[in-house]
A = this chain, B = another copy of it.
């Protein structure tokens, strides 16, 4: 929490990662601010709640703290809150403005999806060459702090990787300052593969889960948590990880695309919400078989399809 000055109190700072934890922060922020909050303006990315959940209602806390004005990013899509937080504040004589609703909806997209559907927000990421080849490569700038790949790892609670990719690359890590690394879900679909978990990964210990089918059943001997499923696909993975409270999941299509064939059926099953494609400014070197990705026969087009320059590459984003 940063108290900018008496007149401008930033209650919720980390809006890109907004989830329940921010509710705690919001109450704690006001607690820490103490008397400084009086007559200050509070900026919140999401409408303050008006009900008892894990903490006392935030609207109550704001009223008690005697803030003068509350700037709200977006109204809460949670039917329990549903504009009641804003109404409560106004009733208490606080000046409330709702701003940048569309931008805040985008920042909160994973949380909103999870709130409305009860399922994690799933993003599918892959790289293409300029001639339409599927590629394992990432642009140099992409993995650095501020790069899209580093940000994706920060923004998602978990990342699904192919076990084969770990034979080629180190476990990917977010380079954002003070970033929490995601939970690594490693798909191992082939009978008796040598899963070459680097030492580095073992240090992470509990942040790695290997998902394998019955025939494979490896990993546990390496002291890594292993989940044995009848079928390894997106439905079974989401179902078995339900208890972990994952709000967002990144499917990172690098290395061993065949590991992903069944996972990608999740696109058809409406389990994937967002697509992030890095287009590299190069021609294919190896004629990588793009069968896995070509198997997607989704008929609907992407919505809000937008490009962005990202280092030497171009980043394409769209919604399914």
Contact = CB atoms under 8 A, between A and B. Distances in A.
Most B Cβ at <10 Å: residue of A128, A294, A296, A298: A294
Contact of A314 (B281, B282, B316): B316
Centre residue among A133, A298, A309, A314 by max chain B CB count within 10 A: A314
Interface string A35-72: 00000000000000000000000000000000000000
Nearest to A311: B305
Contacts of A280: 301
Contacts of A305: 281, 312-314
A281 B294 contact: no
Interface stretch (A19-27, A88-96, A141-149, A283-291): A283-291
A277 interface: yes
Given A294-B284, A307-B309, A279 B130 contact: no
Nearest to A129: B132
B316 A130 contact: yes
Interface in A70-117: none
A30 interface: no
**Max chain B CB contacts within 10 Å: which of A282, A287, A298, A305?**
A305
A302 interface: yes
Contacts of A284: 294
Contacts of A166: none
A318 B133 contact: no
Contacts of A313: 305
Contacts of A309: 306-307
A202 to B, nearest CB: 35
Contacts of A275: 130
A31 B106 CA distance: 58
Contact of A302 (B282, B294, B307, B318): B282
B318 A281 contact: yes
A268 to B, nearest CB: 10
Interface string A205-227: 00000000000000000000000
Interface of A: 128, 130-134, 275, 277, 279-285, 287, 290, 293-294, 296-299, 301-303, 305-309, 312-314, 316, 318
6 contacts: A128-B132, A130-B316, A131-B293, A131-B294, A305-B314, A314-B314
Given A130-B302, A131-B294, A283-B301, 8 more contacts: A128-B132, A130-B275, A132-B294, A281-B302, A283-B297, A285-B297, A287-B294, A307-B307
